[in-house]
Structure 1
């Protein structure tokens, strides 16, 4: 029971339920089924983008991918341009968008592994590169829109009025949890994150593992961008900006330690839901908006992240 109470997944889940209860008391309509489905739908975009972030952080070496937001935007812009509101060439547009995202992941991995650029610096620099490319590609005016098929896959009702994106998120969650806990790749990822030298001496190709983590991070960011496109139907140049910090926060709040080798995607799912509930509660309480914009909400997000990082900061000393 003592270990269970200290489990980050349990703590985050309890806080998410508590925040949801407070929101329901403030606004009774918040507890409606439709509102709950909408809440989970919004959380799913952050959850999908945070998949790759979780993999990179687990891989250790101060790994972090700040370029996921820009990569998600790139995916949506490329796909919308080639879809242009029709189903013609739908598959080609999706593959092209995800391919472009994988290129970003490869560049990140090469910079970190081959040129020894710190992950924070490398991925921060890639934001500028990707953003600049987007401006050149679109001329500052993104064109096109989501294909009807994508809109149906993302927002179309399926069983019990649940949008398709939630079933997709559920499937990806099961796949990623299995990948981390039951596959050789997952075992190697944790081994590299826990102690890269020991993993190397045990026969693990540490460079290949970390390379895969960065490519997968950009790939899942691209999938998240496609889902955002299907949900919003149109695209703009700051579509994925908010997910840069929130994807890190979701992973860390769910128990994935920034030192690597500790955590899992189930906690990230809970973290994504918690942040979405927190944002909804702040909006219900009318915190932010007006002349202040989103600044008050961003301050609270930052305070939550700093608090969690402080709580997990002891893990590095314990590991040493």
Structure 2
């Protein structure tokens, strides 16, 4: 009689889900996929232009990405909150904030506090109007926020007469572009602080849990004592608030303001969030992925520029086409909606 010395395998529990290999889990992780694509694009750009790999260029890329990253904070919150939530007015809101701030700063530090308060206040008004339209009058978010672009743009024209005045305060310029530790601009430290704050807000506070609960299943959240209306209302207001912060940072970087300052951030903020794994159906995602998405889009834009794609009679159309193609490829790589929910 032969006795087996092989260790016995523990019996599998009926219905127990099979463990997914680590490599497969990583390939399904949108943060990992987006990060890998960003690094790949950076390597291609560095091979095409060795100067791209320099420390100074890396800092510049991150600085440019920070503006998109800050504006996309609110976009991420609105999308996570569900209800087909989206805020296309963030670009116009950023422009409004920069224009209000520049007029009251007027190149001086004396009125900087008042300028900041008025700029952020004006931004929050846009968020309140968006929230009321979506949650009270049941206007679809896409329609409401798209309409607000026209409203805010019209107000800007009336407010400025088509000719924005003023400039950034020296203190704001120093905050955004001034070197600190290791030659890193202050705006990057600010972005890092906001990123830590938002990740903590989403993962470690009752507000974040309620946001995910409402986005995942508003009926269950309501039966659990959470008000979907209040949560989504706060998400729209925060979206405009962070757009306003981004607009002021843009003012500090450009030093002067113009009426199309934040236009490019309307769709790019959505793309950064979605590329980073925030599902448009709501209830899934996080800000860390949005950070990676913002960096990816910035590296891609820089690569296209050093390769001299776009411009001339074609304008930005070629770059926009490639943006869309990359977005589709990344989303296809790790799937969408149902797989993310699972």
Q: Tell me, yes or no, if structure 1 residue 124 matches structure 2 residue 146.
A: yes
In structure 2, the CA distance between the partners of 1:173 and 1:203, relative to structure 1 (3 Å rule), is: same
Q: CA deviation at 1:232?
A: 0.3
Contact 2:34 2:292 in 1 (8 A): yes
Do 1:257 and 1:312's aligned partners in 2 also have CA atoms closer than 8 Å? no
**Where do 1:158-177 residues align within 5 Å?**
158-177=180-199
Match of 2:96 among 74, 98, 101: 74
- 8 Å CA contact 2:273–2:293 kept in 1: the answer is yes
Task: Answer whether contact 2:29 2:334 (CA < 8 A) is retained.
Answer: no
Q: Which residue of 1 aligns with 2:219?
A: 197
Q: Taking structure 1 as reference, are residues 310 and 129 closer, same or farther at Cα in structure 2, changes over 3 Å only?
A: farther
CA contact under 8 A between 1:259 and 1:316: conserved in structure 2?
no
In the alignment, the residues of structure 2 paired with residue 305 and residue 64 of structure 1 have an alpha-carbon distance, to the nearest angstrom, of: 17
Residue 305 (structure 2) aligns with:
283
1:155 partnered with 2:180: no
Q: Please list every run of 5 or more consecutive structure 2 residues that lacks an aligned counterpart in the other structure.
A: 1-21
Shift of 1:34: 0.4
What SS does structure 1 have at the residue aligned with 2:283? coil
Pair 1:9-2:15 in alignment: no
Tell me the C-alpha RMSD between the 2 structures.
Answer: 1.4
Q: Deviations over 1:120-159 (max 9, x none)?
A: 0000000000000000000000010000010001100000
- Aligned-partner SS, 2:109: coil
Output the CA distance in 1 between the equivalents of 2:187 and 2:339. 40
Post-superposition offset of 1:289: 1.2
TM-superposition CA deviations, 1:170-223 (whole Å, max 9, x none): 000000000000000000000000000110001001111000000000000000
What is the CA distance between 1:311 and its match in structure 2?
6.0
Shift of 1:314: 4.7
Equivalent in 75, 84, 88 of residue 110 of structure 2: 88
Provide the C-alpha distance between the structure 2 equivalents of 1:253 and 1:317, rounded to a whole number of angstroms. 15
Could you tell me which residue of structure 2 aligns to residue 106 of structure 1?
128
**Residue in 1 aligned with 2:67?**
45
Instruction: Answer yes or no: is 1:274 the counterpart of 2:303.
Output: no
Matched residue SS, 2:337: helix
8 Å contact from structure 2 (residues 82, 214) kept in 1: yes
Counterpart Cα distance in 2 of 1:97 and 1:307: 38
Does 1:233 pair with 2:228? no
Name the structure 2 match of 1:36: 58
- Corresponding residue for 2:45? 23
Q: Distance in 2 between matches of 1:311 and 1:293?
A: 29
Q: Structure 1 residue 294 and structure 2 residue 316: aligned?
A: yes
1:313 offset after TM fit, Å? 6.7
List runs of 5+ in structure 1 lacking aligned partners: none
Deviation at 1:310, TM superposition (A): 5.5
Deviations 1:16-39 (A, max 9, x none): 000000000000000000000000
User: Is 2:58 the counterpart of 1:54?
Assistant: no
Q: What are the residue-to-residue correspondences of 1:213-224 with 2, within 5 Å?
A: 213-224=235-246
Of 68, 86, 92, 1:64 maps to: 86
1:246 is matched with 268
Which has more helix, going by share of residues? 1
Q: Distance in 2 between matches of 1:211 and 1:308?
A: 31
Alignment partners' CA distance in 2, 1:56 and 1:91: 28
Give 1:298 deviation, angstroms: 1.1
Contact 1:20 1:277 in 2 (8 A): yes
